Chain A
């Protein structure tokens, strides 16, 4: 079943502003890993706002779980380029924040705090942050903060996880480590992901389906299924098959550039 559906969606900011995205149609199956790539300013972040209902489309329809999105959704997990952890909370308290807010959990947060904390510790351990529970975010490295940020987006088992260039600010090695972390989390216990990125290797390595968007106004230029077998090892990124996929996508983006010039 399709979890997310876009039907001819266009969106402009303000009354007379330029189109941010134009005539976008796409769908995301349940537990599918989708990546959206494109040059900067192609409206990838607008896409995120539309799915989560933080902004309404100017034209067209957005459906989440079969229902039309008409306001902020409850319980979508989000992670951004900046980890946005709260500096006055410990790492564990930070990732438990959604439990204090999401409708389903908030009324029993106090009563079952110990249980939630156990879940939090288990999740932190899965991403290699065991022992950091009581540290403050500013005591962690950038990569560790980003791990914690993704834990915070996942702790309440959201129907949909939105990742907006979550690895863009990290160095190349840390980034690859975090790819593997996300891959493992997804492999062990699948969830639906929309990953917005401008890193083609990242998109091909992680996703089932890659959408290429054009520079503003953003349009879907190409849709590419990635049929590399799972579980994927990091070594797959050095195979010819992988390189060809990346090259093909790169070609689309190259053409977009030429078109706009």
Chain B
């Protein structure tokens, strides 16, 4: 196999895997005649999509909106808190146990509280997405800042650099790979958060769509919802992977970070 063929194979591999798994799924459902109301075949899901794509898209737009909004708040908040935690040992010591404790609370248990405060619908979904996804941003930013080489700090301080100078010129740019890595984790978590909230307390969004479809045993529609969430997650992930590659190519020495 030539180098070029190999490279092409590697690029095509996710699609090949996806198509094979889908085919396998279809074959298994067909061979064992699994009833649609238990486990729909890909063709059934496709049929549901064709039948309901207008409502699915409406609900998907809502979910995408709540997810991205919650995620955006998480990024801003996580960035600020991460910088504070990472640049001061005092804040680090003080905040960390509290944050670990908070992050250990299952967010689904918190949704009812949010509903009491804000009613059902968009706001609790945004807040759940935010609450579940800010943690990795904080931890990664703090780690990135706290692992600055002491010698490099000495070089800068002996030039008369202020704390702000060191942060701006060295610590922040140096933390960017950590930051982008956290974004990729956070965006997928944000989807988890918003969908959880929608299943519990909403009448719009993919989560709501799936709950109401499953109550009528319309499994094709439930799975169509799952697939749509999955696709949105992958697309968002790829967007951040692309930005990461553009912004922090230096961290991987210009090679493909896939290896």
B170 at the interface (CB under 8 A from A): yes
Indicate with 1 or 0, residue by residue over B219-259, a CB within 8 angstroms of chain A CB atoms: 00000000000000000000000000000101101100000
**Which single member of B154, B159, B174, B176 contacts A75 (CB below 8 Å)?**
B159
Which residues of A lie under 8 Å from residue B170 when comparing CB positions?
A: 86
A138 to B250, CA, bound (A): 9
Count of A-B contacts judged by CB separation below 8 Å: 67
Which residues of B lie under 8 Å from residue A152 when comparing CB positions?
A: 155
Which A residues from 38 to 78 make CB contacts under 8 A with B? 49, 52-54, 72-78
Which residues of A lie under 8 Å from residue B176 when comparing CB positions?
A: 88
Indicate with 1 or 0, residue by residue over A139-178, a CB within 8 angstroms of chain B CB atoms: 0000000000000110010000010000000000000000
> Most B CB atoms within 10 A — which of A53, A76, A103, A162?
A76
A162 to B157, CA, bound (A): 13
Contact B160 A74 (CB under 8 A): yes
Which residues of A lie under 8 Å from residue B152 when comparing CB positions?
A: 84
B51 at the interface (CB under 8 A from A): no
Contact A101 B149 (CB under 8 A): no
Q: How far is the CB of A157 from chain B (nearest CB, A)?
A: 12
**Which single member of B156, B160, B254 contacts A103 (CB below 8 Å)?**
B160
Which residues of A lie under 8 Å from residue B58 when comparing CB positions?
A: none
Contact B157 A54 (CB under 8 A): yes
A61 to B159, CA, bound (A): 21
Contact A101 B151 (CB under 8 A): no
**A72-B158 contact given A86-B174, A136-B250, CB 8 Å threshold:** yes
Contact A102 B151 (CB under 8 A): no
Contact A78 B158 (CB under 8 A): yes
Give how many B residues have a beta carbon under 8 Å from the other chain's beta carbons.
22
Instruction: Give the residue name and chain of the B residue nearest to A136 (CB).
Output: B250
Which residues of A lie under 8 Å from residue B248 when comparing CB positions?
A: 88
Instruction: Give the residue name and chain of the A residue nearest to B149 (CB).
Output: A84
Instruction: Give the residue name and chain of the B residue nearest to A149 (CB).
Output: B155
A228 to B251, CA, bound (A): 46
Which residues of A lie under 8 Å from residue B159 when comparing CB positions?
A: 74-77, 98, 101-102, 156
B169 at the interface (CB under 8 A from A): yes
Which residues of B lie under 8 Å from residue A100 when comparing CB positions?
A: 169
Q: How far is the CB of B173 from chain A (nearest CB, A)?
A: 5
Indicate with 1 or 0, residue by residue over A81-99, a CB within 8 angstroms of chain B CB atoms: 0101011100000000110
Indicate with 1 or 0, residue by residue over A118-137, a CB within 8 angstroms of chain B CB atoms: 00000000000000000010
Contact B149 A138 (CB under 8 A): no
Contact A72 B250 (CB under 8 A): no
A97 to B250, CA, bound (A): 18
A204 to B174, CA, bound (A): 38
Instruction: Give the residue name and chain of the A residue nearest to B254 (CB).
Output: A136
B161 at the interface (CB under 8 A from A): yes
Which residues of B lie under 8 Å from residue A103 when comparing CB positions?
A: 160
Q: How far is the CB of B70 from chain A (nearest CB, A)?
A: 30
Q: How far is the CB of B121 from chain A (nearest CB, A)?
A: 43
Which residues of B lie under 8 Å from residue A98 when comparing CB positions?
A: 159
Q: How far is the CB of A84 from chain B (nearest CB, A)?
A: 5
Instruction: Give the residue name and chain of the A residue nearest to B247 (CB).
Output: A88
**Which single member of B149, B158, B250 contacts A54 (CB below 8 Å)?**
B158
A80 at the interface (CB under 8 A from B): yes
Instruction: Give the residue name and chain of the A residue nearest to B165 (CB).
Output: A101
Contact B151 A73 (CB under 8 A): no
Which residues of A lie under 8 Å from residue B253 when comparing CB positions?
A: 87, 138
A166 to B151, CA, bound (A): 12
Contact B154 A78 (CB under 8 A): yes
Q: How far is the CB of B179 from chain A (nearest CB, A)?
A: 13
Q: How far is the CB of B255 from chain A (nearest CB, A)?
A: 11
Contact B173 A88 (CB under 8 A): yes
> Most A CB atoms within 10 A — which of B158, B161, B248?
B158
Residues in chain A within 8 A of chain B (CB atoms): 49, 52-54, 72-80, 82, 84, 86-88, 97-98, 100-103, 136, 138, 152-153, 156, 162
Residues in chain B within 8 A of chain A (CB atoms): 149, 151-152, 154-161, 165, 169-170, 173-174, 176, 248, 250-251, 253-254
Q: Please name 13 pairs of A and B residues whose Cβ atoms are closer than 8 Å in the assembled complex, sorted by A.
A: A49-B154, A52-B158, A54-B154, A73-B160, A78-B155, A80-B151, A82-B149, A88-B248, A101-B160, A101-B161, A101-B169, A156-B159, A162-B158
For the A-B complex with A54-B158, A75-B159, A86-B173 known, give 10 more contacts whose Cβ atoms are closer than 8 Å.
Answer: A52-B157, A80-B151, A87-B250, A88-B173, A88-B250, A97-B169, A101-B159, A101-B165, A102-B159, A153-B155
